[in-house]
Every structure is written in structure tokens, then in C-alpha cells.
Amino acid sequence: MKSARAITLESASPLSVGFILLHRFTLLPFAAFVDCLRLAADEGDRSRQLRCHWTFMTPNGEPATSSCGAVITPCEALINPEKFDYIVVIGGVQDEKEKLDRRAIDYLRLAAQFGVPLVGLCTGVFALIQAGVMDGRRCCVSWYHHGDLARRFPAITPVADRLFVDDGKLITCAGGIAAADVAAHLIERHLGRAWAIKSLHIMLIDEMRRSEHPQPQPVIFEKVEDRLVRRAIDIISQHMGEAIGIEDLAKRLNTSRRNLERKFQEELGVGPQRFARDLRLRYGLWLLHYTTKSVTEIGERCGFADSAHFSRHFREAFGYPPSGVRKGTQEHVDPFFLHIASEQ
């Protein structure tokens, strides 16, 4: 005979989520989101779909291959979107040469017409834009994909200074582990805060971060047309903790130092070395505002030889020392925006 507790669990109205796994989808946001649901669905770690139901879908019901090669199966073909409380679309590696899956895009458009809330994780936001459902809405994207989205979809205004944006029927998330925060956000809404906290704690996540929690990197918002400069900026952004030499950077890009410096001057008005240093200083400003790390730790994390070196360049860039930020003696400067042209 079932206990009263088990009967309550099984009779409760479950949170139903449909996942659309696009070609070469990113595994971490998928796993973070679905595992948060799984742990909230049942007591302990028993994984029964009691309080939460989930369905994995691909356009033809074929297995879904992730960007790292892991395969998710079984998957169902796209089913009636009205069966779900939310439909979560997870994008993958962006390759503009790959053909758009029209079936998935049409399905997202149909779900929006039915009023089913849509959640775009990681590059799943690109699919929502292509489905035409993001017009006039804020679109959260990772700082890493910000430039690509802005270049490909100039009519869309991306948001890259927070983990996710909840606009009611549309939720967009930067991806990565932040997908667990979105899942917990929805679990709290439908099942209660206790179930959301229970999931996160089992996942060894201390607490649920709210949507406005900042992403852990600064963002470059300056529009960059030159492909070589964009690639250089990508490399610089991925190596905030070290000062990459110009010769090394040029070698990675298979070009000459002279050509790289010329391209940066033409595109941004500064050389690559100055650009990289300014970007690392902006990262330091972000860390001063949003972490409790010491000035010494921040200087090291931003690739400066010592705290004196970091403090000297910081004062030259912003007009006050790093300690001024911590003491609250300076006005808040938004560290997410790096407008190179306006600073010349």
C-alpha cells in the first residue's frame, strides 16, 4: 500500500517540459536543466517523473548528437506543443554554413502561436530569433556569442550582462551552468522554493542565482566588421588571465604582426596590445564591483605582474585607484561596455 506522501507526490500536477535538441547541441546547459528537473521530480535521488515530466525531441525523433559527440536517446518526433508547460530549445555550435532545420523553427513558431512559453538556452536563442518570436523582446546571450549574434541579427538587441531574461512567454539564458538557475526559477514558480533548493543542493550548487546576476566576463559591444580582428578579440577574451604577446597572437591567427596591428588601428583606433590591456582592466573593474577578491588577487587574475602594476594602469585608465571602487568613493561605472571608439 502506498504511503500518503507517495500518493501526494504522484497526484500533484507535474511541471511538464519538452526539450528540442538541435544538431550539435551543447551538453552542459541541457544536463544542468534536466537534472535540476529530475531532482525536483521525486524524493531523494529516485528519478521518477512525479512532480516533473520531461520529453526529449528532435525533428524526426532521431537520436540527438551533442557538440562533444555524446548521443541522447530515445528522442520523440515533435509532438503537440500544448502538452507542455514550457518548451526548451538548446542550440549548438554555430556554423552559418549549416542548413537551418525548418521543422524545428516552424514548431517553435507554432508553440508561440499556442501561447506555450519558450526557453532558449545557450545558442537556442538563435533559433528563437530565426523563428521570428524575439521581435521587440530582450534577448539574453553569453558574452562569448554576443558579437556573433549582433553581427548576424542587427535588428535584435542582445543582453549579455546577466544570466537570463524572463519576459513571461519567452525566457532566454546565456547557457552553461546558468541553465540550472533557470530550471530552479521555474521549479520555484510551479512547485515551491523548497524543491528548487533541494535540487540545487544535491547538484552541489549553494544557492539559486537570480536573473540579474552578472555573467562572469566583460562584454565587447563595439561592432567589429573585420573578421581577423574579431578572431583576435575572441582569443584575447578567452585569455583574460595572461598577457598574450603580439607575435604569439599573430602566429595563432596565421598572419604577420604588422598586418594585425594595421587591422586593429583601422578597425578600433588602437593596437592589439593596448586593446588587450584595456579589456583586462575592464575585467578587473568588473571583479572589483561584483566579487570580494582582494586587489592583489584581481591583478593576478587579470594577467598583471603584481598589484602595483595593476593599480598603476587602473588609475591611468579610470582616474582613480582600485581601492576607490571598494570604498565606494567613485561613481559606479558599468564595466560591461567597452566602447573603444568613444575613448579616443
Eight-state DSSP code of residue 92: B
Name the 3-class secondary structure at 140. strand
* First and final C-alpha spacing in the chain: 76
CATH code for the structural domain at 4-202: 3.40.50.880
DSSP strand pairing (118-121 vs 86-90): parallel
Q: What does the CA dihedral 92, 250, 245, 293 come to, rounded to 10 degrees?
A: -20
Which runs of E-coded beta strand occur in 5-100? 15-21, 52-57, 64-65, 71-72, 86-90
Residues 32, 237: Cα–Cα separation, whole Å = 25
Distance CA 33, CA 39 (A): 10
Distance, CA of 237 to CA of 244 (rounded, Å):
11
One digit per residue, pLDDT tens: the chain, 344 residues?
344 444 344 445 789 999 999 999 999 999 999 999 999 999 887 889 999 999 999 999 999 999 999 999 999 999 999 999 999 999 987 765 556 789 999 999 999 999 999 999 999 999 999 999 998 888 999 988 887 888 888 888 888 888 999 999 999 999 999 999 999 999 999 999 999 999 999 999 999 999 988 887 666 655 688 889 988 988 888 788 888 889 999 999 999 999 999 999 999 899 999 999 998 998 898 888 878 889 999 999 898 988 999 999 999 998 889 988 876 655 555 444 444 433 33
The residue type at 258 = R
* Number of residues that this document lists for the chain: 344
| CA-based nearest residue to 273, from 264, 285, 282 | 264
Is 0.85 surpassed by the pTM of this model?
A: no
Cα–Cα distance measured from residue 54 to residue 34, given in angstroms and rounded to the nearest whole number: 8
pLDDT of 286: 83
Q: Does the domain formed by 227-343 have CATH 3.40.50.10880?
A: no
Locate the domains of the chain by residue range.
4-202, 227-343
Note every long-range contact of 199-203, with CB atoms under 8 Å and residues 24 or more positions apart, other chains counting. 199/35, 199/36, 199/37, 199/38, 199/39, 199/40, 200/36, 202/39, 202/45, 203/32, 203/35, 203/36, 203/39
> If you ran DSSP here, which 8-state letter would residue 222 be given?
S
